[in-house]
Amino acid sequence: MDSSMMFVAFLLCLSAGTILAEDPYLFFDWKVTYGTISPLGVPQQGILINGQFPGPTINCTSNNNIIVNVFNQLDEPFLLTWAGIQQRKNSWMDGTLGTMCPILPGRNFTYKLQVKDQIGTYFYFPTTAFHRAAGGLGMIQVQSRDLIPIPYDRPADEFAVLLGDWYNKGHKTLKKTLDSGHTIGLPDGIQINGKSGKVGDSAAEPLATMEPGKTYKYRICNVGLRISVNFRFQGHIMKLVEIEGSHTVQNAYDSLDLHVGQCLAVLVTADQSPKDYYFVASSRFSKIQLTSVAIIRYANGKGPASPELPPPPPQHVAGIAWSVNQFRSFRWNLTSNAARPNPQGTYHYGKINITRTIKLANFRGAHDGKLRFGINGVSHQNPSTPLKIAEYFGKPDLAFINYDLLKDEPPKEISTSVVTGSVVVNATFRNFVEIIFENQEKTIQTWHLDGHSFFAVAIEHGKWSPEKRKNYNLLDAVSRNTVQVYPNSWAAILTTLDNAGMWNLRSEMAERAYLGQQLYFSVLSPGRSTRDEYKHSP
Ligand SMILES: *[C@@H]1O[C@H](CO)[C@@H](O)[C@H](O)[C@H]1NC(C)=O
Ligand SMILES: *[C@@H]1O[C@H](CO)[C@@H](O)[C@H](O)[C@H]1NC(C)=O
Ligand SMILES: *[C@@H]1O[C@H](CO)[C@@H](O)[C@H](O)[C@H]1NC(C)=O
Ligand SMILES: *[C@@H]1O[C@H](CO)[C@@H](O)[C@H](O)[C@H]1NC(C)=O
Ligand SMILES: *[C@@H]1O[C@H](CO)[C@@H](O)[C@H](O)[C@H]1NC(C)=O
């Protein structure tokens, strides 16, 4: 790069965005600092936003422009991503290391996002230096515009619940472990909004307080690093209303599995005798059994919660069958609308011809004697020049991009010795793509795609073959941005790659993503010009 190009790249690191003037603006100033937190009762260094852990909730409405000025007061570079916020034609603000330069210590950067044509429940989190293990995360709730009806009565209030596994070691120690080529192992507990509780903790602040007879929306995300969680309310059933931006068929559940990186919203009615109840979150499909509780209070209620917790669903093989069945019960409500006035079901995704099939197999291996994870035999490494900037200048070599590194098929024999590099996969704009996630390992996986939502059409045990397509849900699969894959199983998703940009597809298992289990789709707009995307910016 010559110096003038360096300067332009530097400007691109500082400012770019797609903003439509007619939609309302919300402005946030966020100060990112270290502070002591004790999610499991053990004090440790956490990452706070405006002094808070979890960070502030962004409560916005479809099409709002969200302007977040982030001041990095840590001693390390810092970057936030907005998982599930699609940022049409604007991967410059996506906050992954392949698209942006991190914010240097002592500096600030202003994100310009637009929640265009979206509703739903999402979260933001840091993508730098394993910071996610220390906090810096919070919920994004996107409300429907007033003129668009929602398919249920407006709840009396909403509660944001961020839960997940937690490690007491702190992000610097965990990062050191990963950098030296080792696994971080299993977590120490489960946190619920920055706390963990045991049955009988009397002084605990309630997670939520409900007025008798009223109905509340709980938006819940699994922001953990590794472990699937099951959650349930003592004495109350949940009505599922939304998953990652889609209104669902409103089935009732006693308990729900929520895999790492997933979000959903349920309605709970305060229809029991007025006293305290427990909200329970417990680990799933793991060698360790972790449970945490929080108190759900009735206003003017009398009496403590019963010590008898609602039981978890079955574990092991029966548990997986239970969980797969629950996944299949999640359906798109075809007649309700989402962010736009037309019903969700008017988009007949099942009638679109598949133009490309990509099969991705996760694996665990080693490079130079150090633990790595990857996809189809390759393991991603972030170059110091973001991929997006190198591609924009037509200099893929600057970021060591090799568009041929990852093939659409896994190798026949997955070797445990790993090829590392900048893994970028070309995608043709508007191609309707089928992605098969194959998991031949013994642990459960979750995958997330930035910039797009997709239809999660099937999850099955065993190996995928083209005949399995007849089992796909081509009518009312939920359009979302994550999918789980059980051990020795596969999952299929369908999506139109119609958002120009450089988009991260990653394992939601933080250790796996950090050690290479991710890739980028380069989606070029017509004319194959990377500049078209940027044209939309001021
Ligand atoms: C979120 O925004 C909606 C719509 O503007 C509003 O009705 C609601 O009270 C807000 N919720 C919170 C917790 O601020
Ligand atoms: C940093 O913050 C200042 C003060 O709010 C603001 O004027 C400036 O535009 C910000 N810089 C960036 C790069 O966002
Ligand atoms: C689907 O949405 C409609 C609103 O369009 C609502 O009336 C209906 O109850 C919902 N159906 C189910 C099964 O949740
Ligand atoms: C989809 O594929 C079928 C069978 O190959 C073909 O007949 C049909 O014309 C295709 N539809 C579109 C919209 O391309
Ligand atoms: C991918 O796209 C780049 C940039 O447009 C191009 O140079 C390269 O040849 C493509 N590679 C493949 C394998 O299609």
Q: Tens of pLDDT along 284-343?
A: 999 999 999 999 999 999 999 999 999 999 988 899 999 999 999 999 999 999 999 999
Position 21 pLDDT exceeds 70: no
Residue 362 buriedness (CB in 10 A; 0-12 / 13-18 / 19+): buried
Residue 243 buriedness (CB in 10 A; 0-12 / 13-18 / 19+): buried
- The verdict on the CB of residue 67 being under 6 Å from ligand 2 is no
- What is the predicted pLDDT for the residue at 88? 84
- Omega of the bond leading into 149 within 30 degrees of 0 (cis): no
The three-state (H, E, C) secondary structure of 341-373, written as one string:
CCEHHHCCHHHCCCCEEEEEEEEEEEECCEEEE
- What is the predicted pLDDT for the residue at 16? 46
pLDDT band at 7; cut points 50, 70, 90: low
Position 491 pLDDT exceeds 70: yes
**Which of 405, 426, 528 is the best mutation target for the ligand 5 pocket, counting ligand atoms within 8 Å of the beta carbon and taking the most?**
426
- The verdict on the CB of residue 404 being under 6 Å from ligand 5 is yes
pLDDT band at 498; cut points 50, 70, 90: very high
Per residue in 251-260, pLDDT (tens digit) is: 999 999 999 9
d(CA 381, ligand 2 centre) in Å: 30
- Nearest CA owner, ligand 2 atom 12: 109
When pLDDT is averaged across residues 358-384 and rounded to a whole number, the result is 96
pLDDT band at 202; cut points 50, 70, 90: confident
Position 420 pLDDT exceeds 70: yes
Lowest-confidence range among 118-122, 150-154, 393-397, 413-417?
413-417
Q: Which residues contact 347 (CB under 8 A, 6 or more apart)?
A: none
- What is the predicted pLDDT for the residue at 528? 58
d(CA 427, ligand 5 centre) in Å: 9
- The verdict on the CB of residue 109 being under 6 Å from ligand 2 is yes
Position 230 pLDDT exceeds 50: yes
- Which ligand is closest in space to the CA of residue 348? 4
- The stretches of 166-301 forming alpha helices (DSSP H) are 171-179
Per residue in 141-200, pLDDT (tens digit) is: 999 999 999 999 999 999 999 999 999 999 999 999 999 999 999 999 999 999 999 999
Q: Which residues contact 207 (CB under 8 A, 6 or more apart)?
A: 159, 161, 192, 193, 279, 294, 295, 296
CB 500 within 8 A of CB 429: yes
pLDDT band at 15; cut points 50, 70, 90: very low
pLDDT band at 536; cut points 50, 70, 90: very low
- The verdict on the CB of residue 531 being under 6 Å from ligand 5 is no
pLDDT band at 6; cut points 50, 70, 90: low
- Nearest CA owner, ligand 1 atom 1: 59
pLDDT band at 481; cut points 50, 70, 90: very high
- What is the predicted pLDDT for the residue at 82? 97
| Single-letter code of the amino acid located at 495 | T
In angstroms, rounded to a whole number, what is the distance separating the alpha carbons of residues 105 and 117?
34
* High-pLDDT (> 90) share of the chain, %: 88
- Which ligand is closest in space to the CA of residue 528? 5
CB 256 within 8 A of CB 326: yes
pTM > 0.85: yes
- The verdict on the CB of residue 56 being under 6 Å from ligand 1 is no
CB 207 within 8 A of CB 233: no
- The verdict on the CB of residue 28 being under 6 Å from ligand 2 is no
Indicate the average pLDDT of the chain. Answer: 93
- The verdict on the CB of residue 428 being under 6 Å from ligand 5 is no
- The verdict on the CB of residue 104 being under 6 Å from ligand 2 is no
In angstroms, rounded to a whole number, what is the distance separating the alpha carbons of residues 3 and 116?
36
* High-pLDDT (> 70) share of the chain, %: 93
Domains delineated in the chain: 18-143 (2.60.40.420), 158-313 (2.60.40.420), 343-524 (2.60.40.420)
- What is the predicted pLDDT for the residue at 241? 98
In angstroms, rounded to a whole number, what is the distance separating the alpha carbons of residues 260 and 231?
13
